[in-house]
């Protein structure tokens, strides 16, 4: 590796809502270290993931492609071997890309033997130098806890199953793992060690944190950081029945998603959770966010103390958001924006970015823009594989021409309801998909076989009233269906379309 290369720190926090940041004016959450990063960089306030849950979204981040092109539609869907991913792109640039966390990857069965144990749990994508592995069964982290004297259950999730009745009068039970031994502390300690060791050599680090992903059980003192009575209540329709009647998929979601998706020992459906208990879950979630913020502050401080902040590009984003009781749901399922709106902050240390520091960009940006941003920062041409565009013009104080006017995301719900979503909805198993396009005026949701949805965002910013069948909105519905078709035609996989044969051989670029 050339010693002249700069450093790149890609921070990927799991399940962080785009509105849950102090500097954006959230009514209670405190994130001083991320706030400072935003003050010294550029924040993208309408940034969206391309899909959910983790696997499909991370595939978009790692390939630079929309879900319709990479086709990793669930956490358990294999990734096609022909797709080049971020670690291999970075190796072409001279880096030995390091990873803390996970990528939720399944290998391509066309070139991998069926007996390979990687088909029994998610693994980390090929090409990474793995520093700390939090993938699959979390064995590395469990081994760490075991060495500290913790009693290790059969599965990682079992750590967070307190005895029935442990819910307190005001708050949910705290994490049984102390703050100094939490997943977040363990991951960040690994990052600090790596950055210290590599401080005289260029590096690329994917720093992933599992939190604020469920279960929503924060360790002390973060468990008591937020008073549930002071956190904002969830956005919901007037009645559960009204919410259910929005759409057949909405009804299936509300009949399927369990409260234990957020807190492992809560019984029943998420749709049955009271507003009081949603406030408790939100308080725990915000505590987990603040814990991550605290530890990220340690990373930023080390970069400053060692002078590495002056040669390190920092990008912070997430893989998807979290419903937190909005629309009576927990986790990240369906079409609602709370599951896809995520943070994005880019800090370029070079003087060319000085004039734009602290800028808040309101243009629609997406996680497929992350790889092109890294490529432009390294002076590399954007491959045809990428569906996104570089964010650096915004970071340098400019407004790139012909920027997208909408945000897009997709969701495949074939694995819902125990894999019976298609039969329960009466549709073909290959039709369990939806695609969303939204701008300042409308949000349109298209399904392969089910009726579409349309929301008038001027009158209905919380997506509560479907007007797709209202004759007064027929023109808008048609217009957004056409916009979606235009988008799909424009971005259909073009990996090889830039190449052509000629009398002089192959011409063009991939």
List, by residue number, the catalytic residues: 54
What is the three-class DSSP state of 363? coil
Alpha-carbon span 219 to 78, nearest angstrom:
35
Alpha-carbon span 119 to 123, nearest angstrom:
9
**Helix/strand/coil (H, E, C) string of 284-336?**
HHHHHHHHHHHHHHHHHHHHHHCCHHHHEEEEEEECCCCCCCHHHCCCCCCCC
Asked whether the CA dihedral 50, 54, 55, 58 is positive or negative, the reply is positive
465 CB-near residues (< 8 Å, 6+ apart): 455, 456, 459
Q: Do the beta carbons of residue 212 and residue 13 sit within 8 Å? A: yes
**DSSP3 helix / strand / coil % (the chain, rounded to 5):** 35, 15, 50
DSSP assigned state of 439: -
Task: Give the residue among 109, 39, 47, 35 at the shortest CA–CA distance from 79.
Answer: 109
CA-CA-CA-CA torsion for 181, 202, 198, 371, nearest 10 degrees?
A: 10
């Amino acid at each position: 590796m050339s010693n002249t290369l700069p450093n790149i720190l890609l921070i990927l926090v799991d399940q962080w809502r785009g509105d849950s940041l102090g500097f954006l004016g959230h009514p209670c959450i405190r994130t001083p270290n991320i706030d400072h990063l935003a003050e010294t960089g550029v924040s993208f306030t309408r940034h969206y993931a391309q899909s959910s849950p983790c696997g499909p979204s991370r595939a978009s981040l790692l390939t630079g492609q929309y879900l319709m092109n990479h086709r990793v539609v669930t956490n358990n869907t294999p990734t096609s071997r022909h797709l080049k991913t971020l670690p291999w792109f970075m190796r072409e640039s001279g880096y030995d890309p390091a990873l803390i966390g996970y990528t939720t990857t399944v290998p391509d069965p066309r070139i991998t033997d069926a007996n390979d144990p990687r088909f029994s749990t998610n693994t980390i994508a090929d090409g990474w130098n793995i520093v700390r592995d939090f993938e699959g069964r979390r064995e590395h982290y469990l081994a760490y806890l075991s060495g500290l004297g913790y009693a290790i259950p059969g599965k990682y999730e079992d750590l967070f199953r307190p005895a029935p009745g442990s819910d307190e009068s005001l708050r949910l039970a705290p994490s049984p793992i102390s703050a100094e031994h939490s997943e977040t502390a363990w991951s960040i300690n690994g990052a600090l060690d790596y950055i210290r060791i590599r401080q005289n050599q260029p590096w690329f680090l994917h720093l992933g944190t599992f939190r604020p992903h469920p279960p929503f059980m924060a360790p002390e003192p973060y468990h008591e950081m937020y008073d549930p009575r002071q956190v904002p209540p969830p956005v919901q329709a007037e009645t559960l029945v009204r919410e259910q009647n929005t759409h057949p998929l909405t009804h299936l979601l509300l009949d399927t998603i369990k409260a234990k998706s957020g807190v492992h020992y809560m019984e029943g459906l998420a749709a049955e959770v009271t507003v009081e208990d949603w406030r408790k879950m939100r308080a725990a979630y915000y505590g987990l966010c603040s814990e991550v913020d605290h530890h990220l502050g340690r990373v930023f401080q080390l970069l400053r103390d060692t002078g590495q902040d002056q040669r390190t590009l920092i990008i912070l984003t997430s893989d998807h958001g979290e419903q937190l009781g909005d629309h009576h749901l927990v986790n990240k399922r369906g079409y609602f924006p709370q599951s896809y709106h995520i943070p994005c902050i880019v800090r370029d240390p070079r003087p060319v970015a000085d004039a734009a520091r602290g800028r808040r960009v309101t243009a629609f940006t997406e996680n497929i823009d992350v790889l092109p941003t890294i490529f432009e920062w390294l002076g590399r041409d954007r491959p045809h594989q990428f569906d996104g565009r570089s964010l650096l013009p915004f970071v340098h104080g400019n407004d790139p021409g012909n920027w997208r006017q909408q945000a897009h995301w997709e969701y495949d719900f074939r694995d819902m309801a125990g894999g019976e979503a298609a039969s329960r909805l009466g549709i073909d198993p290959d039709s369990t998909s939806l695609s969303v396009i939204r701008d300042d005026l409308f949000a349109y949701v298209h399904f392969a076989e089910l009726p579409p949805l349309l929301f008038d965002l001027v009158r209905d910013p919380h997506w509560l009233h479907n007007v797709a069948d209202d004759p007064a909105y027929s023109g808008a519905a048609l217009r957004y269906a056409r916009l979606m078709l235009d988008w799909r035609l424009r971005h259909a996989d073009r990996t090889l379309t830039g190449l052509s044969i000629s009398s002089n051989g192959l011409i063009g670029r991939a």
